Amino acid sequence: MGPFEVAVVAIIAGVALSAFKHHKENRESVQSEEVTQLKAELTKLQQRVETLETIVTDKSYQLGDEINRL
């Protein structure tokens, strides 16, 4: 292998490494955004569950449910 081929292989390897690093950074950024969105959705769902628990454990709700069953 001559010096020209070595130089070409080195350039191609450098470009490939640069592209791989760029791809990895973009993938991590997308995953980070998705995690942030999922955390926000989880917080909303937890608040909704707390609200529903409050409604269901309320004595007036239970009384109304008993009246409806009669």
Distances (CA, A) of 34 to 2, 10, 24, 44, 65: 48, 36, 15, 15, 41
This prediction has a pTM of: 0.51
The structure tokens listed for 33 are 């955004």
The tally of domains found in the chain comes to 1
Identify residue 5 by its one-letter amino acid code.
Answer: E
The model's confidence at residue 40, banded by pLDDT at 50, 70 and 90, is very high
Distances (CA, A) of 66 to 20, 38, 44, 62: 64, 38, 30, 6
Q: Domain limits at 54?
A: 3-69
CA angle 6, 7, 10 (to 5 degrees): 85
Whole-number average pLDDT of the chain? 85
